Amino acid sequence: MKTVVLSKDELIELLDQRLEYAISKIDLTEKSKKQDDKLLTRHDVAQLFGVTLVTVNEWCKKEILITHRMNSRVYFYKSEVMDALNSRTQINKR
């Protein structure tokens, strides 16, 4: 094994470069998108699609929509609902 001697400044520079590289690989847009995303209730989703609450419940059971529970209530992220709509639409077009 070879020993490498670095000064404090060289070590800091090396760590800074590695940190910048690691940060550049993280997709920060996805995280900020989630933070700004609007939460929808079951009623909101039903109105958005023009369907009944029974249909929304069926979509949840079939895992078409991703649910997020807070206490006893069920919510949906609008972006996830729209992604589900887009993916289902593309499947039906085939």
User: Residue 4: what pLDDT?
Assistant: 84
Per-residue pLDDT reduced to its tens digit, 36-89: 678 999 999 999 888 999 999 999 999 999 999 988 899 999 999 988 887 766
Domains and their CATH numbers in the chain: 34-93 (1.10.10)
Q: What is the DSSP string of the chain?
A: -------HHHHHHHHHHHHHHHHHHS-HHHHHHHHHPPEE-HHHHHHHHT--HHHHHHHHHTTSS--EEETTEEEEEHHHHHHHHHHHHHHHH-
For residue 17, is pLDDT > 70? yes
On the CB side of 40, CA atoms within 13 Å amount to 20
CB 40 within 8 A of CB 75: yes
